[in-house]
């Protein structure tokens, strides 16, 4: 049997593209894999995310139903950018009923605020794709619950976001990078990685960092919003804050290895499991996450969780201060996180579970 594998692929600057490229190779022992075929091949696997890279894939998934992977369990922002007003309103009504028509019009009119307004995350608009697909694969219980709320009879399969051991740079390169960033050997370096959008809570991170002594903060990635970049510009120039842009794969692992801990907050959540969090935990770095169903599978002793809401900045500052001061404890959290991720998120096991969900293995 041939597997039709539909996803953005490198060189697209997308976490889904990186994920897809590795998963294709891991699935080859189970079936011949055709990347983004225009015609049906036997069974089709569609990778969907909340951006315009997935427009044609979404169209194919509706036309030729197969198994869908939801990397984000919120398609609201994708549909806002993909549909015109009338089609968006009708799609919203299809998901939530005729009573919601005026709400849909209001959300369309205010769509410029969709990146930070929690209302847009409260309406994921998954019903159509969940109802038509043969199965829906998600990476965490939060995403599974969102799918079931839209399509109670849809078959939902939870498969962890996989981890694959990287080829890390030699220690002298890591030392050289830290020196180039102006860091002393004793400086505790926090890192924020990936696409920099409102939901990563950068304002809270930068405010929390101001009270942490003997540390530095690396902000690495491209801003998805010029407004957000301008708003944060004064704080990005604060003492101890180090800025880096988009990091190609090898540069990412170099900077990740140089960091002592990772801050990876997400609110409002879109049902996603962060590839950055999995990568950092897998390599033994302590990771600070937003508490919620999306991160509920991680053991309490393998990460740190911050509550979204009024106490977010205060909790984050306390955790960052504690990690920087008690480095042995930080290392133990990192060790436990690595042990869990390497066991439960191993690429080979996740690929096997994909094969079972696709009917390629028993």
Predicted confidence at residue 42, as pLDDT, reads 85
Predicted confidence at residue 169, as pLDDT, reads 92
Do 34 and 5 contact (CB within 8 A), yes or no? Answer: yes
Structure tokens at 260: 């002592």
Q: Is 312 helix (H, G, I), strand (E, B) or coil?
A: helix
Do 154 and 136 contact (CB within 8 A), yes or no? Answer: yes
Q: Is 17 helix (H, G, I), strand (E, B) or coil?
A: helix
Class of domain 2-75+124-162+347-357: alpha beta
In this chain, the answer to whether the domains covering 2-75+124-162+347-357 and 171-344 adopt an identical fold is yes
Given a cut of 50, the residues of the chain with pLDDT beneath it are none
Domain ranges of the chain: 2-75+124-162+347-357, 171-344
Q: pLDDT tens for residues 233-282?
A: 999 999 999 999 999 889 999 999 999 999 999 999 889 999 999 999 99
- Alpha-carbon distance of 19 to 253, in angstroms, equals 15
DSSP 67: E
Concatenating the DSSP letter of every residue in 185-248 gives TT-EEEEEES-B-GGG-HHHHHHHHTT--SEEEEEES-BS-HHHHHHHHHHHTSTTEEEE----
Predicted confidence at residue 269, as pLDDT, reads 87
Residues in the chain: 362
Looking at domain 171-344, its CATH superfamily turns out to be: Glycogen Phosphorylase B; (3.40.50.2000)
Predicted confidence at residue 73, as pLDDT, reads 93
Predicted confidence at residue 224, as pLDDT, reads 85
Reported pTM: 0.93
DSSP 163: B
- Alpha-carbon distance of 7 to 35, in angstroms, equals 8
- CB atoms under 10 Å from CB of 118, counted, come to 11
Predicted confidence at residue 158, as pLDDT, reads 97
């Amino acid at each position: 049997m041939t597997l039709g594998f539909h996803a953005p692929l490198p060189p697209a600057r997308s976490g889904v593209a990186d994920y897809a490229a590795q998963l294709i190779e891991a699935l080859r022992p189970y079936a011949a894999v055709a990347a983004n075929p225009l015609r049906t091949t036997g069974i089709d696997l569609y990778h969907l995310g909340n951006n315009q890279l997935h427009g044609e894939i979404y169209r194919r998934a509706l036309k030729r139903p197969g198994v869908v992977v939801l990397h984000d369990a919120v398609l609201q922002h994708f549909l806002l950018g993909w549909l015109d007003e009338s089609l968006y309103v009708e799609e919203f009504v299809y998901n939530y009923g005729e009573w919601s028509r005026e709400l849909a019009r209001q959300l369309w009119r205010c769509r410029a605020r969709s990146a930070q307004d929690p209302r847009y995350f409260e309406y994921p608009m998954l019903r159509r794709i969940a109802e038509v697909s043969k199965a829906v694969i998600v990476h965490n219980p939060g995403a599974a619950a969102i799918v079931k709320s839209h399509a109670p009879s849809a078959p939902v399969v939870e498969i962890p976001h996989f981890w694959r051991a990287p080829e890390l740079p030699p220690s002298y390169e890591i030392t050289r990078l830290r020196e180039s960033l102006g860091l002393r050997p004793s400086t505790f370096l926090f890192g924020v990685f990936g696409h920099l959008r409102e939901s990563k809570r950068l304002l809270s991170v930068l405010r929390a960092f101001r009270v942490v002594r003997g540390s530095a903060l690396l902000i690495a990635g491209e801003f998805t919003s010029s407004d957000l970049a301008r708003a944060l510009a004064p704080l990005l120039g604060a003492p101890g804050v180090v800025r880096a842009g988009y990091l190609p794969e090898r540069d990412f692992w170099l900077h990740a290895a140089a960091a002592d801990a990772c801050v990876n907050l997400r609110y409002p959540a879109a049902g996603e499991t962060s590839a950055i969090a999995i990568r950092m935990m897998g390599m033994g770095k302590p990771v600070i996450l937003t508490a919620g169903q999306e991160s509920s599978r991680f053991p309490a002793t393998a990460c740190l969780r911050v509550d979204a809401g009024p106490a977010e900045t205060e909790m984050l500052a306390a955790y960052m201060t504690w990690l920087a001061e008690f480095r042995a404890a930080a290392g133990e959290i990192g060790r436990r996180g690595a042990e869990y991720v390497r066991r439960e998120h191993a690429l080979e096991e996740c690929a096997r579970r994909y094969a079972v969900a696709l009917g390629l293995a028993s």
